[in-house]
Chain A
Amino acid sequence: MALLEVEDLGVTFRGDREVRAVDGVSFTVDAGEVTGLVGESGCGKSVTSLALIGLLPKQNTRRVRVDGRALFDGLDLLRADTRTLRDIRGREIAMIFQDPLSSLNPVVPIGVQVAEVLVRHRGVSKAEAQRRAAQLLDRVGIPDPNRRLKEYPHQLSGGMRQRALIAMAVACRPRLLIADEPTTALDVTIQAQILELLKELVREDGTAMIMITHDLGVVAGLCDRVNVLYAGRVVESAARRPLFAEPVHPYTIGLLNSIPRLDAGQGARLTPIRGSVRDVLPWSQGCAFAPRCDRAVEECLAGPPEITGDPHSFRCVNPGVGVDLEEVR
């Protein structure tokens, strides 16, 4: 059994108008494996992760409705009570956010923030926690950890802050790590350092990781399995190599064709996806991507397409099977 099994997860924000941000997402995560959730802004990738660790505002009240199941080692995270979730968060499941400056407390020294997790979950003394915090900072590659422990977030560089955040996340050796765009705010050379660090943590501790990103390059280097999201649903899911070698969903193909690549011919015109993410069709009426799709046929508007195929699955009635990327490019 997989460590985490997400089944038909849905998140609806209610207001004047209902917004179904996540619309039936299913995927699994195994120990020691990196699962990628890829998509553009508004596809529901971040809301998925927030739903999993119960960080959506006022869950299951009038404002947000969450449905589906998310079994973490047999426990349904979506139905767990607040107390259970508090024990799990930080100890069993930890999260790394995109912007380290806004996820750290600006008026508390780094050392206290890292140690807090250990005091809360491991019940160690404050002195012992500080000592372990120094080891953690050292492990994530922060030089001179004893001095850094006493510093405040604004005194650290962006890369250093992200390392501190990772140190907090791995402090209790969680079984599942959720990383939401952990390198998007960083420069490429720093991004490379952080990605190496995350790889090392997964390899050495056997941690399972959910990697949320919009960067297909990051996915290609890090993820074992990739789920491509569009308008709140998984539209294609495959192991890393088949996904890049033989993408079948027109959206995945479109994404791959629209990015300038360092290893491709220079100056060739890019093939963008037309329109914008605003041009979506509600899934109930057909394929949400149809208004932007070059391969759209009448059938696409005949109701929501089902996800088919295993282990390389896709949600499309007119897939670009056998499309040779080299040829398209």
Chain B
Amino acid sequence: MTAETLVELKDLQVHFPILRGVLVDRVVGHVKAVDGVSLSIPRGSTYGLVGESGCGKTTLGRALLRLVEPTGGTAVFDGVDLTALGSNAMRTMRRRLQMIFQDPLSSLDPRQNIESILTEGLATHGIGADRAARRALVGETLDAVGLPRWALSRYPHEFSGGQRQRIGIARALVLSPDLIVADEPVSALDVSIQAQVLNLLATLQADRGLTYLVIAHDLAVVRHICDTVGVMYLGALVEQAPSAELYTRPLHPYTRALLSAVPVPDPDVEDRRERILLTGDLPSPANPPSGCRFRTRCPWARERCAQERPELRTLAAGHTVACHFAEELE
């Protein structure tokens, strides 16, 4: 793996205005979906973003592709600041940044056949000299994702869930992108099919040197495919570490609670485990708690946590954590 950085986010923010009013909408507050996230992804590696629903992980992925507009910070992709690009330049750039969505059925147009779905992007970006050239390219891509060539004339409903996800991957892949943002790529699939898709993603990365940003709530899936993992809570990163390190030595109380909550298919592990049960639910991102955002649910919260928002601190090589008392909890 090269150390060259492909993606560099600095203090990225996405704040959605809350509008109220009878005739004229007034801004009465902001939902801070993403509130200052900095991270970098080396070329050819996989970065995993985990967190529970509402933590802002999907919004972050979409903001990187500018499918939602960031309201602050920068997103540098291969030396270019995406947030400063005009809409035409951004559209051209998107060939290199592709996305795989969670629900393969609703992200594929039911009335487009597979050939049309796969060649649409090629035509938009002017790739391939003529129809025959595009067809050849699409054919190769189908081989790469393990779909038969006869799929081209079929429609999305004729495929199983796993095959549809392969079509979604092919659609991203056919443009030969540098980065693929995969938002919950396997969570809609049956267990036995998940493994097929995860293996496919690994093969494609090895063959083509792809860089992935994987967004998922399943910690086991993320651990399996990611090199670096970032844990998000209420719009901000609370911990980031190389995958192996994060899972063997989680430092943030939230990460520890998350890991202890994942059921493991082994009765011995389940019987021995000590769960760190969190109380309550995620606070509203429109009105986050003062100081540390996790303090309302943290079993170890103290006075300082309410007053001072913890910054990400580096505690070991590549291992950063946003907690005042991370060392003491170990």
Residues of B within 8 A of A296 (CB): none
Interface status of A284 (Cβ within 8 A of chain B):
no
Question: Beyond A193-B277, A240-B267, is A260–B191 a contact (Cβ under 8 Å)?
Answer: no
CB-CB under 8 A from B192, the residues of chain A are: 40, 254-255, 258, 272-273, 276-277
Q: Please judge, given known A-B contacts A216-B265, A254-B192, A267-B224, whether A189 and B219 are in contact too, CB under 8 Å.
A: no
Are B265 and A260 in contact (CB-based, < 8 A)? no
Q: How far is the CB of B42 from chain A (nearest CB, A)?
A: 17
B2-10, B87-95, B254-262: which lies at the A interface? B254-262
Asked, given contacts A188-B217, A214-B191, A217-B265, whether A260 binds B198 with beta carbons under 8 Å apart, the answer is: yes
The docked-state distance in angstroms from the alpha carbon of A19 to that of B253 is 49
Known: A215-B263, A266-B223. A278 touches B160 (CB 8 A): yes
Q: Quick check: B264 and A41 within 8 Å, CB to CB?
A: no
Residues of A within 8 A of B11 (CB): none
A270 touches B198 (CB 8 A): yes
Measured between alpha carbons, how far is A274 from B190 in the docked complex, in Å? 12
Judge whether B280 is part of the interface by a CB distance below 8 angstroms.
Answer: yes
- Nearest-Cβ distance from residue B293 to partner chain A, whole angstroms: 15
Per DSSP, are chain B's interface residues mostly helix, strand or loop, or mixed? helix
A254 CB contacts on chain B under 8 angstroms? 192
Which A residues touch B244, using CB under 8 A?
266
User: Pick the contact of A143 from B220, B257, B280 — CB < 8 Å?
Assistant: B280
Size range of the chain A interface in the assembly: 35 or more
| A73, chain B: closest CB distance, angstroms | 30
Q: Are B265 and A256 in contact (CB under 8 A)?
A: yes
In this complex, what residue of A is CB-closest to B162?
A: A276
Given A193-B278, A259-B195: A244 and B261 interface contact (C-beta under 8 Å): no
CA distance A271 to B193 in the complex (A): 10
State whether B270 touches A188 (Cβ < 8 A).
Answer: no
Whether A218 sits at the interface, judged by CB under 8 Å, is yes
Q: Cβ of B198 and Cβ of A244 under 8 Å apart?
A: no
Q: Which listed residue, A220, A261, A269, touches B267 by the CB 8 Å rule?
A: A220
Contact status of A262 and B264, CB under 8 A, knowing A188-B258, A221-B270, A270-B224: yes
B221 at interface (Cβ–Cβ under 8 A)?
A: yes
Asked whether any CB of chain B lies closer than 8 Å to the CB of A157, the reply is yes
- List residues of chain B with CB within 8 A of the CB of A272: 192-196, 199
**Segment 193-232 of B: residues with Cβ below 8 Å from A:** 193-196, 198-199, 202, 217, 219-221, 223-224
- Neighbour of A192 across the interface among B198, B219, B264, B275, CB < 8 A: B275
* Contact present for B281 and A159 (CB under 8 Å): yes
Write 14 A-B pairs (CB below 8 A) sorted by A numbering: A143-B280, A160-B281, A187-B53, A190-B52, A195-B263, A219-B265, A220-B265, A256-B265, A260-B221, A260-B224, A262-B223, A262-B247, A272-B199, A276-B160
